[in-house]
Amino acid sequence: MKSRLSLAVGAKRAWRLGFVLLLALLLGAAPLEAREYEAEQQRIEQFFPGAKASAPAGEYQVRTIAKGDEVLGYAFQSINVVDIPAYSGKPINIQVLLDPKGVIVDAYVLEHHEPILLVGIPVEKLHAFTAKYKGISVDQRVVVGHSSDEKAVTIDAVTGATVTVMVVNEIVMRAAHDVAVSLGLVEDKAGAAQKPATIREDVFQPASWSELTGNGAIRRLHLTRGDIDQAFKGTEAEGIDEAQPDAVDETFIDLYAAEVNPPTIGRNLLGESQYQSLMDGLKPGEHAVAVMASGDYSFKGSGYVRGGIFDRVQLRQFGNVISFRDMDFQRLDDVYADGIPDFSEMAIFVVREHSAFDPGSPWTLELLVRRQTGPISGVFTSFELPYQMPEAYLERPQPSAEELAAVEEASRPMWVNIWYQKSFQIGVIVAALALLTVILFLQDTFARRPHFMHWLRRGYLVFTVVFIGWYALGQLSVVNALTFVHALFQDFRWELFLTDPVIFILWTFTAASILLWGRGVFCGWLCPFGALQELINEAARKLKIPQYELPFAVHERLWAIKYIVLLVLFGISLESMMLAEKAAEVEPFKTAITLHFDRQWWFVAYAVALLMINIFTRKVYCRYICPLGAALAIPTKFRLFDWLKRRKECGNPCQLCAKECEIQAIHPDGHINANECHYCLDCQMTYHNENKCPPLILKNKRSKRGKKAPAGPTLIPVVQVMDPQSDAPERASSQPIV
**DSSP states of 676-689:** T-----HHHHHHT-
pLDDT in tens, 222-279: 999 999 998 888 888 888 888 888 889 999 999 999 999 999 999 999 999 999 999 9
Mean pLDDT, to the nearest integer, of 59-66?
Answer: 91
pLDDT in tens, 181-236: 888 888 665 444 457 888 998 999 999 999 999 999 999 999 999 999 988 888 88
Residue 186 is classified by DSSP as S
CB atoms within 10 A of CB 221: 18
In whole angstroms, give the CA distance from residue 732 to residue 356. Answer: 90
In whole angstroms, give the CA distance from residue 412 to residue 735. Answer: 66
Min mean pLDDT across 255-264, 289-298, 518-527, 695-704 is at: 695-704
pLDDT tier, 17 (very low <50, low <70, confident <90, very high otherwise): very low
CB of 289 closer than 8 Å to CB of 259: yes
DSSP strand pairing (363-372 vs 378-387): antiparallel
In whole angstroms, give the CA distance from residue 177 to residue 139. Answer: 6
Contacts of 133 (CB under 8 A, 6+ apart): 104, 106, 107, 142, 155, 172
pLDDT tier, 544 (very low <50, low <70, confident <90, very high otherwise): very high
pLDDT tier, 505 (very low <50, low <70, confident <90, very high otherwise): very high
Mean pLDDT, to the nearest integer, of 628-647?
Answer: 90
Percent residues over pLDDT 70 in the chain: 82
For residue 712, the model assigns a pLDDT of 52
Min mean pLDDT across 280-294, 514-528, 684-698 is at: 684-698
**DSSP states of 232-301:** TTTSTTTTTTPPPGGGTTSEEEEEEEEE--SHHHHHHHH-HHHHHHHHHHPPTT-EEEEEEEESS--SS-
pLDDT tier, 350 (very low <50, low <70, confident <90, very high otherwise): very high
Mean pLDDT, to the nearest integer, of 18-47?
Answer: 57
Would you say the C-alpha torsion 370, 260, 215, 192 has a positive or negative sign? negative
For residue 736, the model assigns a pLDDT of 41
For residue 59, the model assigns a pLDDT of 87
Higher pLDDT, 580 or 6: 580
The mean of the pLDDT values for the chain is: 83
Mean pLDDT, to the nearest integer, of 696-720?
Answer: 62
Residue 665 is classified by DSSP as -
For residue 14, the model assigns a pLDDT of 44
pLDDT tier, 72 (very low <50, low <70, confident <90, very high otherwise): very high
For residue 191, the model assigns a pLDDT of 44
Min mean pLDDT across 182-196, 401-415, 677-691, 722-736 is at: 722-736
Adjacent-strand bridge partners of 155? 144
pLDDT in tens, 309-342: 788 898 988 767 788 888 899 988 888 888 999 9
In whole angstroms, give the CA distance from residue 442 to residue 570. Answer: 37
For residue 160, the model assigns a pLDDT of 61
pLDDT in tens, 513-543: 999 999 999 999 999 999 999 999 999 999 9
